[in-house]
Copies of this chain bind each other. A is one copy, B any other.
Amino acid sequence: MKETIAEGSDVLLYLNRKRTYLVKVERGKSFHTHKGFIQLDSLIDKPYGTRTSSNLGVEFTALKPTIRDHIFKTLRKTQITYPKDIALIVMYSGIGPGSQVVEAGTGTGALTTALAHYVKPTGRVHSYEIRPEFTATAQKNLKRAGVADYVELKNKDITLGIDETDTDAVILDLATPWLVIPHAYRALKGSGTLVSFSPTIDQTVKTVEALEQNGFVDTETIECLMRRMQIERGKTRPETLMTGHTGYLTFARKALGE
């Protein structure tokens, strides 16, 4: 049975690799772009993947938004936790369906969305954020991505303590991760994973020192560089522009006793 586009659901209108639009399909509405407008009515009950044309004859494809698309759309321009880092955080943290995860800070919810996607349906993400203005945005983004039920948003300062215990992973993307390490130790199960993302070397050094002083083992720090390729017979080459740095990722595991 083909999965079709329901009224009220989201589609990702794909024009080209640099232009995609996350759009809610509503009856009687149209969506305007610099390449003309698209009658959204015409997409209802069509299968995902359908090609459609704007009134100017330009072709768009109505894709089903994946978790990756939701994450990309949730990122702000200034936000540096890029998808490649999110991918590494998820896999190196060892989480999966059923995991209990603590996260801080929530921000606009990009990393939260990814974590919730992979722990659902039986796991939970407990996400701390000190700045109340972000909570509404994150809630909206999580809802749109279909993962709000698996997240508890907490408007609390995680440097003052973590409510949860026996968790599988604590994941930190905030300015002073080293202040959270002692709390993270108490919040984790034995053998649980800590992950910290920091743009600067100085934050990373302080975090690694805190990990070593607080009973963690298997500490490792990496950075990841991603480069896009232009693939075309006779013209194949890496792209000229590249993001040279997002941040350093640090991983560690909780050991018991001493």
Contacts and interface: CB of A to CB of B under 8 A. Distances in A.
Given A237-B200, A240-B243, A224 B221 contact: no
Interface stretch (A32-40, A114-122, A127-135, A154-162): A114-122
Contacts of A97: 97, 118, 120-121
A56 interface: no
A68 B253 CA distance: 13
Interface in A183-237: 189-193, 199-202, 204-205, 208-209, 217-229, 231-237
B231 A222 contact: no
Interface stretch (A21-29, A82-90, A101-109, A136-144): A82-90
Nearest to A228: B222
Contacts of A247: 237
Given A87-B92, A91-B86, A226-B222, A238 B231 contact: no
A225 B222 contact: no
Secondary structure at chain A's binding surface: helix, strand, loop or mixed? mixed
B239 A242 contact: no
A49 B190 contact: yes
Nearest to A86: B91
A231 B202 contact: no
A171 interface: no
Given A233-B205, A241-B244, A49 B225 contact: no
B256 A50 contact: yes
Given A189-B48, A199-B237, A226 B224 contact: yes
A163 interface: no
Contacts of A222: 226-229
Nearest to A207: B231
A256 B51 contact: yes
B242 A243 contact: yes
A229 B239 contact: no
A245 interface: yes
A80 B220 CA distance: 21
Interface of A: 1-3, 14, 17, 20, 47-51, 61-64, 66-69, 80, 83-84, 86-88, 90-94, 96-97, 114, 117-118, 120-121, 166, 189-193, 199-202, 204-205, 208-209, 217-229, 231-248, 250, 253-258
